[in-house]
Amino acid sequence: MFLDLHSKYIRCDNALVCCNPTVEDTMTDTIISSATKEVVIGFERPFVVIGERINPTGRKLLAEEMKNGDYSRVQADALAQVAAGAQILDVNAGIAMADEAGILTDCIRLLQSITDVPLCIDSSVVDALEAGLEAYDGCALLNSVTGEEDRLERILPLVKKYECAVVAISNDDSGISEDIDVRFAVAKKIVNRASDYGIPASRIVVDPLVMPVGAVNSAGRQVIDLVARLRSELKVNTTCGASNLSFGLPNRNGLNAAFISMAIGGGMTSAITNPLHGELMQAIRGANVVMGHDAECMEWIRANRPAPAEGSRRRRRATSASSAGKVPA
């Protein structure tokens, strides 16, 4: 365990734990858990990366494999994302003409058997979401509810029943508005309706909707401005599909990295994104340092300290063996 006397965090097993939370910290923390591990999304917490790779949309080979009950690529994607720094894994099984609920349940059980990382259960099919929640051991993040009346009436009871958290997307029956005041109003409506079910704002993670900046030039600024309002007025955590911003543009990873670091500076607390993109993960780690969310810069140092050369390792082994009175092999 590492204790930072100048911070309210302790580092334990490579995780930051708040040891002196303020009232606001406690009230706004969103806790997502597996059977054995908790991840906290919060205002004064390190940014949370939700790995997006387990999704057959646009991946024909993965879709075909999942449809046929072959989950080897799901397993490989999960382990690779965790190794790259994902703290939560999004799992989606939206495949045309397939048993989505059954496939989603299979994937959730598989993922829980190979990793302790909490899951974000992702589907537009309510029955599939409920099947996933029934199979899941822990407090999942449900993806998602919108401001559409039918969706509110069907999803919020599930959130209440299974005591999970939920992603709230800022669109309603009228569609997606380019007006951030409208999107804020939709988010507020969802938070208020959730409250009617006894669901606190701390269990709602709002997606303010990132639009392609190539089509809407102010898209990035809109999200940053909206996140500030969601944080100050509704006291909710936020997430987004970060790669949406760069759609249709060259060097998408570079643009996504610039956006995510600015979004973190503006108060965003998580994102559904691809942790296998090193440039993006470096931007997130750097933003955590700048925001004071990486105690003693330990995570940055761990990720960026050069690996010792083979010769250096041999010399260290030889020195250790010599000091112990042994001859190295």
Residues with Cβ within 8 Å of 257's Cβ and at least 6 positions away in sequence, in order, are 277, 279, 280, 282, 283
Tokens of 202: 């701390």
Query: What residue spans define the domains of the chain?
Result: 32-291
Residue carrying structure tokens 């029934």: 134
CA 247/CA 263 separation, integer angstroms: 17
Token code pair at residue 220: 């990035």
Strand partners, 167: 143, 205
Tokens of 12: 């334990």
pLDDT in tens, the chain (329 residues): 333 433 444 444 444 444 444 555 557 999 999 999 999 999 999 999 999 999 999 999 999 999 999 999 999 999 999 999 999 999 999 999 999 999 999 999 999 999 999 999 999 999 999 999 999 999 999 999 999 999 999 999 999 999 999 999 999 999 999 999 999 999 999 999 999 999 999 999 999 999 999 999 999 999 999 999 999 999 999 999 999 999 999 999 999 999 999 999 999 999 999 999 999 999 999 999 999 999 999 999 999 998 777 665 556 555 555 555 554 44
In sequence order, the 6+-apart residues with CB closer than 8 A to the CB of 251 are: none
* CATH number of the 32-291 domain: 3.20.20.20
Three-state DSSP state, 287 = helix
One-character DSSP codes across 213-231: TTTSTTHHHHHHHHHHHII
